Amino acid sequence: MKKQTGLFLATLLLLSACGSVPLTGRRQMMLVSDQDVLTSSLTQYNNFLKDATLSADKAQTAKVTRVGKNIAAATEAYLKANGMETDIKNFVWEFNYVKSAEVNAFCMPGGKIVVYEGIMPFASTDEELAAVLGHEVAHAVAKHANERMSQQMLTQYGGIILEQAVSGASSTVQTLAGTVYGLGAEFGIMLPYSRKHEYEADHMGLIFMAMAGYNPQAAISFWTKMAQGKTSSVPEFMSTHPSDVNRIAELQKYMPDAMKYYKR
Ligand SMILES: [Zn+2]
């Protein structure tokens, strides 16, 4: 009987909890409320910042903030112009530049983006950095964390957790959050986004950077540099993300679409 209730709720939720991703239009399952996702991820984000050391490099910090804000503003303007502003109504963009040699950057729900010093040699121009930040902004806007959380809820916990979710037990969400977000997941360590999400973030990221006035072609030069500079110090990156060759091929495929949004 329990199982039936669970199945019933699952069906109900699936019917009611579908969203679609801006730009790509892909349908996605969202079983967790924005508020629950944001609350639980904010705790993790604040904990991360408490332990992290911000970069002492003022110029690079300013660059990360400047490029990030430009992309966020262009993205917001686009969503607003297309009646999707409620999608990001709870977002508060933040761009942090942290001291770490790791070749890394990540994004948490609600627009909390962190860039590590170690990625900057590969993103020396504003345009190349825009490729990184466009990709991160895209993960946030596409709500990939919520989707991944929803998928995990459904496959691992099935009806039981759905019942709790329905009854508003946000402690359940809190518990899941720890395993789902995986700080540092981006560019490789714990739970990476799926390839589908990576490619979608690449696609949307190209468009967002173009909207903000950055030439999307710079994403190719960024990924080419990454491919060339890759050493044994970043093996996770290799294993958990699409290969650079495939990634660059996909980016080339999206390029004509992105260039339509790019005005000099
Ligand atoms: Zn990504």
pLDDT of residue 232: 42
pLDDT of residue 184: 36
Using CA atoms, how far apart are residues 174 and 32, in angstroms rounded to an integer?
11
pLDDT of residue 59: 97
Tens of pLDDT, residue by residue over 138-164, are: 999 999 888 887 777 776 665 555 555
pLDDT of residue 189: 30
User: Mean of the pLDDT values across residues 34-51?
Assistant: 86
- DSSP-assigned beta bridge partners for residue 115: 97, 105
Give 87 Cα–ligand 1 centroid separation in angstroms: 20
Using CA atoms, how far apart are residues 10 and 172, in angstroms rounded to an integer?
16
Give 195 Cα–ligand 1 centroid separation in angstroms: 9
pLDDT of residue 7: 56
User: Mean of the pLDDT values across residues 102-120?
Assistant: 91
Give 108 Cα–ligand 1 centroid separation in angstroms: 11
pLDDT of residue 183: 39
User: Chain-wide mean pLDDT for the chain?
Assistant: 81
Using CA atoms, how far apart are residues 200 and 211, in angstroms rounded to an integer?
17
Give 12 Cα–ligand 1 centroid separation in angstroms: 31
Give 144 Cα–ligand 1 centroid separation in angstroms: 9
Give 230 Cα–ligand 1 centroid separation in angstroms: 17
Using CA atoms, how far apart are residues 47 and 65, in angstroms rounded to an integer?
21
Among 200, 185, 216, residue whose Cα is nearest residue 143: 200
pLDDT reading at 43 higher than 90: no
User: Mean of the pLDDT values across residues 219-241?
Assistant: 67
Q: Residue 230 — left, alpha, or beta (φ > 0 → left; ψ -120 to 50 → alpha)? A: beta
Give 112 Cα–ligand 1 centroid separation in angstroms: 14
Using CA atoms, how far apart are residues 118 and 129, in angstroms rounded to an integer?
12
Give 153 Cα–ligand 1 centroid separation in angstroms: 21
pLDDT reading at 191 higher than 60: no
User: Mean of the pLDDT values across residues 191-197?
Assistant: 73
Give 163 Cα–ligand 1 centroid separation in angstroms: 31
pLDDT of residue 4: 57
User: Mean of the pLDDT values across residues 238-243?
Assistant: 55
pLDDT of residue 160: 57
* Helix runs in 142-188, H state only: 144-152, 158-166, 170-181
Give 2 Cα–ligand 1 centroid separation in angstroms: 38
Give 192 Cα–ligand 1 centroid separation in angstroms: 8
Give 194 Cα–ligand 1 centroid separation in angstroms: 9
Residue 216 or residue 226, greater confidence: 216
pLDDT reading at 193 higher than 50: yes
Tens of pLDDT, residue by residue over 56-83, are: 999 999 999 999 999 999 999 999 999 9
Give 8 Cα–ligand 1 centroid separation in angstroms: 34
Among the residue ranges 99-108, 144-153, 166-175, 202-211, the one predicted with the least confidence is 166-175
| The two structure tokens encoding residue 168 | 């508003």
Give 6 Cα–ligand 1 centroid separation in angstroms: 32
Give 254 Cα–ligand 1 centroid separation in angstroms: 16
List the domain boundaries for the chain.
33-259
Give 159 Cα–ligand 1 centroid separation in angstroms: 30
